[in-house]
Amino acid sequence: MKSLFGRLRSNRLVSSFTLLGTLSAGILIGSVVVNNVRGQESQVNSSDATPLKIPPPRDLATPFTRIAKETAPAVVNIDTETLPKQAQNPHHGPHGVMPPGSNGNGNGSGNGNGGGNGDDGQGGFQDFFNRFFGMGPDLNNPETGQEQESLGSGFIVDPRGYIITNYHVIREADGVADRIEVRLANDPEGSQGRPAQVVGYDKATDLAVLKIRTDEPLPVEKMGNSDGAQVGDWVIAIGEPFQLEHTVTAGIISAKNRTVQPGAAGEFQHFLQTDAAINPGNSGGPLINMAGEVIGVNTAIYTQTDGNEGIGFALPSNTVVNVYNQLIGPEHRVVRGSIGIAFNAVQNSAVARVYGYKAGVMISHVDPGQPAAEAGLKPGDAIVSVDGHPIANGDDLVNIISSHQPGDKVDIGYVRSGHLMHTTVTIGDWDKVQAAAQASEQRSEGPESQNAPGQSATRLGITVTDLPAAAPTGLHGVLIQSIKPGSFADQIGIGDFQGGLIVAINRQPINNVQDFERIVSGLHSGNDVVFEIVDPQNPTAGNSYLGGTLP
């Protein structure tokens, strides 16, 4: 137990083990006292007892045994430390120049051309990473007066010392941790580890590449093809859960193509789901198939108890290989294609019928001056193909566009007013497109939402009002004032847009309450009804399309 206590740094764990040790000692002392008393009263003759023998060891090796022995030497433990802010150089800021590989922030849900997530992009999910995987602090509320430590896992993929892990394992509030140390499987017990340099990281996929110096080739993991993984396949996870190094757990692939975070934050994170036990400290470690190949990087778990509940998520190896190859390149960053649009993350059949397409992605916003705008695409267009490849949903569009390099030209098929059309779009650089979009949002100022007389309650369950007289020129529509619970409008989700501006119904523009009542009066049971809604506080941010079939 002494060596175990030497490795454990979690106060909660140490307290638990200490409590168990104290209870055991008390029970043992009580047993000795009782036995001594009884020993004074009588003695048992045990001459007829047969001594036990330790049999020869039996080899019960399974494929799991073999794979664990073969792959464990390339799994590493990663220890990070972030210094108090006041202890850092005040002349150069907390970190000086940001490390290469940063992809910046996304600009809204459903960015259909590659959408990363910055430090704040993952919201509560990122907080979950910090608390339950890296065992580090909440980076949205850093304790600037104290040192902050974090633990995680990783694995070697190049004998010259290149290591893959999760970005959140090495992340701190303003970039990466001040100290990153890697401990190998064959390093002596209690060793301080080896200093690691950050080669690059990609926030959009939560991946990072580290490098350590070595005088001899290191053992490496063999990468597999995650497309070959099937639901029900056996897998093994290796890592350092709760600082218990080189722990091996087994389970199956429970599902594929899981998107945990909605919108732009999860556009590049489509996970393998597994029930192999994954716990705090496993993050960044490998998920290995029965051929001994890495098919995923253990990244997250779903939990209501701060521990494993049999739902873990690993980023597929095909995504990992693509990101790794770019991060070790000359620029140490991931380059993704973009066309400068946003789209509704969730479509419905009523929207598709009204706008005249069967499958595809409806554009809700086009960034001015960006590739899509220059090619003539507009909000309300539905992209149905790219270079002849059908687009079924947003994932298809993101995967195809982001895989292209800036400067590539693609043919985009789209439906406008029920007619199929084509245009050629020159792919842009995602980083630059996002930066321009953010700058445009910061410059944009919308009108204040005000209530005006002339309310109109309708059978759809919506109460609307005209725009105030001081509304900016060019802004049109009616303001959503209230939604009747249980009504048609409530059922299709318009209640989430209270205060929003309805600018069209079934593609018919609305300028005032009279237009609204005229269009609604012509609707009948069984009609598809699609509302086009904008945010009056930020009318250039994009349109939302909500629809359903009128009962």
**Catalytic positions:** 168, 206, 283
Amino acid at 493: G
What H or E segment, with its residue span, contains residue 172?
strand 171-172
255 near 292, Cβ under 8 Å? no
3-state secondary structure of 337: strand
SS (H, E, C) 250-289: EEEEEEEEECCCCHHHHCCCCEEEECCCCCCCCCCCEEEE
CB atoms within 10 A of CB 403: 13
210 near 197, Cβ under 8 Å? yes
The 8-class DSSP code of residue 507 comes to T
307 near 296, Cβ under 8 Å? no
172 Cβ partners below 8 Å, 6+ apart? Answer: 80, 82, 139, 142, 148, 178
Amino acid at 92: H
Q: In this structure, which long-range contacts are made by residues 62-67, counting pairs with CB atoms below 8 Å and at least 24 apart in sequence?
A: 63/290, 64/234, 64/236, 64/248, 64/250, 66/292, 67/236, 67/288, 67/290, 67/292
Residue at token pair 């850092």: 88
Burial class (CB in 10 A: 0-12, 13-18, 19+), 291: exposed
3-state secondary structure of 357: coil
Cα 284 from Cα 500, distance rounded (Å): 42
Amino acid at 333: R
CB atoms within 10 A of CB 375: 19
Cα 136 from Cα 449, distance rounded (Å): 42
Strands 293-301 and 222-223 come out as parallel
3-state secondary structure of 159: coil
3-state secondary structure of 295: strand
3-state secondary structure of 16: helix
3-state secondary structure of 329: coil
